[in-house]
Amino acid sequence: MGNLYLIRHGQASFGASDYDVLSDLGARQSHALGEHFGQLGLRFDRCVAGSLRRQQDTARLALDALRASGVDTPAIDTDPDFNEFDAEGVIRSLLPALLVQEPEALHVMRNAREHRSEFQRLFALMVQRWHAGDHAEDDGLETWSAFTARLQRALQRVLDQAAEGQNIAVFTSGGSIAALLHLITGITPAQAFTLNWQIINTSLNHLKFHGREVSLSTFNSQAHLALLQAPELITYR
């Protein structure tokens, strides 16, 4: 059996003009992850990351820390199919219709850092409609089915290129991990998105694989952060 680790990126810059940048805390989380790998003596045969900056930087910082512990590390292969869904696109497409029932939604979206819980509630409503395809077909938004299809392709490429018994790290995002769990375990899209809210930055989701057969071994492991006894390192966005 081989081991595939789906790793969420470190904390990005929620509410800032450019979300796709690791915060200082996100960099610490990524470094702690790499040190944890070194303490475990875990060696990766391959490392894949999406093309988003936060995914690439998490992979780089974690592998730098692992290498500093004396463990050889592979180069980072980039696969954009592991990128997150377009959350901003979901909001742009589905917010106008939501304003009829939620007139304060625009204010909340524009001030997300000050209204985190309300943002989460409203965004969940929009994602439900996205799952159902309740948006214009010509708005350029990637559909839920297209999103899951590209993640299925990305996963199959990794498995097809893997050898038996290899350890493979994939640095990706919470929505991508949730969609992959939907594909692997058969949970519904709604259940997958509920899990998405629980996925901690730099957490490990351990899959076992044999050929193209994949099973979930561990979900959302955060031992590398919990052991540091620094509660501020446990973040969800």
Enumerate the domain spans of the chain.
2-12+21-84+165-233, 87-131
Could you read off the pLDDT of 166-218 as tens digits, one per residue?
A: 999 999 999 999 999 999 999 999 999 999 999 999 999 999 999 889 999 99
Could you read off the pLDDT of 38-54 as tens digits, one per residue?
A: 999 999 999 999 999 99
Average pLDDT over all residues of the chain: 93
Rounded to 5 degrees, φ, ψ at 168 are -130, 130
Per cent of the chain over pLDDT 70 is 97
Locate tokens 């939604």: which residue? Answer: 105
Dihedral of CA 228/232/234/237: which sign? negative
Per cent of the chain over pLDDT 90 is 80
- C-alpha–C-alpha distance, residues 154 and 158, integer Å: 6
Rounded to 5 degrees, φ, ψ at 74 are -80, 165
pTM of the complete model: 0.92
Could you read off the pLDDT of 55-87 as tens digits, one per residue?
A: 999 999 999 999 999 999 999 999 999 999 999
The tokens describing 41, both together, are 């003596």
For 172-233, the DSSP string reads E-HHHHHHHHHHHH---HHHHHHHHTTPPTT-EEEEEEETTEEEEEEEEE-HHHHTTT-GGG
What pLDDT does residue 138 have?
66
Rounded to 5 degrees, φ, ψ at 18 are -125, 100
* Fold of the domain spanning 2-12+21-84+165-233: Rossmann fold (3.40.50)
The DSSP letter of residue 75 is P
The DSSP letter of residue 113 is G
pLDDT at residue 16 greater than cutoff 70: no
